[in-house]
Every structure is written in C-alpha cells, then in structure tokens.
C-alpha cells in the first residue's frame, strides 16, 4: 500500500509542467515532501481564514473559490487540472481570503509552503512559471470585478460560458461541448446575480437553443450566437 502511494505521488509530481526539466535530485526532493489527497463533490479544501500552509495543485477535477457574503456567496474563480489553487495567499504568506470547494471528485497535490519555498530559492525557473499563473489570476479577478459593475446579466453569463468553452470545450456534431457541471446557483454566484435570474436565463436559452444543458455538461450549438450576446446584442 505504501509503495502504491509513493508511486502515485511520484507520477503526480512528474506530470506537472512547472517541474518539467528539473534534475532528478530536485524531483526526488519534491516527491519526498509532497502528498496527494482525494475529495468528493462539495468537500471543502479550506475555509476562508485558514492558514495557507500548502501550495495546492489540481491533478483531477475542479475547485471553485467562494467568498461568503451576507446576502449571497460569490464564486471568484474556477480552477482546472494542472492549475495551482490559492497561490496568491501562499506566496504572500496570508490566510486564505476565500473558501475552496470541490465541484466534482477531485485529487490534489499538496506541497508544504516551507519546503516549496526552499526549492524556489534554488530553482528560479519554477518561480517564473508561478508568476505567470498569478498574473493570469489577477487579470481574471479584475476583469470579473469590472464586468460585475457594468454589464447586463445575460452578457456576463454568455462571457462565462465563452471562457469555459475556450478553456475546456471540444467540438462535437451538436456544437462545442463544455464538460463542466455547474448548478444554477453556481452560475449565479459566478456572475453576481440571483439564482432566480440564472434559472430564467438558462431556461430561455435552452428553449431558444443558445445553450443546452445536458447530463454533466453544457453544449453551445453556435459560438457566434453566444458571442453576439456577450457583445451586448440581443
């Protein structure tokens, strides 16, 4: 059992692009302090205010970052396999400013902050890879903040699914399939609206063939039509 666990950790570490090209000695060092944990849909990885003691990388599944508010929760970002989660808090040495919740069965690679920073001191090329990811995250959060203040709800939902189509979509005979499951509540939290508005919009889009909700997936029959809504056209 111990051998199987060690083999799984080794395979997880070696699969990460940020570690590609590292000498075998560095890889062995990472494998020595890394752990892998499995979660189910709805499991909490950490709560807002918890100490950011580990760099967390998604191996499988998806994780949403949720800010709990007085009136409604807001999903700040969704992270995909291969992406580090909560890295802003880890790098700044602060508590997590929001909670992390698994959206589906998920496996995570955990690297203790202290050991990981020791590695960065020796291998600055890894730091450059992380900086690129942090920059992408900050830009994404700023974009969402701007959109939440100025755009119609339909525009925000259309842009959400265009982003998901770009990140995870694949062509099928029916259109672009997005293999991500989001509840109407999660859609509302992602774009900053009420669940009732989310339900109305998604139901109408389903009837009109703009966005089809399937089992564990969404299908966009026409990206051009969705882009027109995202651009503000009816």
Residues 76 and 101 in one domain: yes
Same domain as 126, residue 37 = yes
Number of domains composing the chain: 2
pLDDT for 152 equals 86
Q: How many CB atoms are closer than 10 A to CB 229? A: 21
Q: Are 139 and 200 in contact (CB under 8 A)?
A: no
From 118, 146, 174, the end of a domain falls on 146
Tens-digit pLDDT string for the chain (234 aa):
566 788 999 999 888 877 777 788 888 888 999 999 999 999 999 999 999 999 999 999 999 999 887 667 788 888 888 888 988 888 888 999 999 999 999 999 999 999 988 887 777 766 666 666 656 655 665 566 555 556 788 998 998 898 888 888 899 999 999 988 888 998 988 888 889 999 999 999 999 999 999 888 899 999 999 999 988 755
* pLDDT score for 35: 94
Best CA proximity match to 110, nearest among 35, 12, 17: 35
Per DSSP, what are the bridge partners of residue 56? Answer: 85, 110
Can you give the residue range of the structural domain that contains 112? 2-146
Based on the domain organization, do 201 and 183 belong to the same domain? yes
Is the domain of 130 the same as that of 43?
yes
């Amino acid at each position: 059992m111990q051998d199987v666990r060690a083999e799984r950790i080794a395979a997880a570490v070696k699969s990460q692009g940020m570690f590609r090209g590292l000498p075998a000695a560095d890889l062995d060092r990472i494998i020595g302090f890394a752990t892998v944990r499995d979660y189910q849909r709805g499991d909490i990885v950490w709560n807002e205010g918890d100490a950011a003691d580990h760099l967390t990388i998604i191996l499988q599944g998806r994780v949403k970052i949720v800010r709990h508010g007085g009136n409604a929760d807001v999903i700040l970002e969704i992270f995909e396999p291969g992406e580090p989660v909560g890295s802003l808090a880890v790098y700044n040495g602060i508590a997590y400013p929001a909670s992390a919740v698994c959206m589906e069965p998920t496996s995570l690679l955990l690297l203790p902050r202290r050991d990981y920073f020791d590695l960065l001191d020796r291998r600055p090329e890894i730091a450059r890879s992380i900086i690129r990811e942090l920059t992408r995250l900050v830009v994404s959060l700023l974009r969402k903040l701007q959109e939440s203040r100025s755009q119609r709800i339909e525009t925000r939902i259309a842009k959400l699914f265009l982003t998901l189509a770009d990140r995870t979509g694949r062509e099928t005979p029916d259109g672009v399939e997005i293999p991500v499951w989001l509840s109407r509540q999660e859609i509302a939290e992602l774009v900053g609206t009420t669940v009732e508005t989310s339900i109305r919009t998604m139901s109408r889009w389903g009837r009109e063939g703009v966005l089809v909700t399937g089992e564990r997936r969404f299908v966009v029959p026409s990206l051009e039509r969705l882009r027109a809504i995202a651009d503000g056209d009816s």
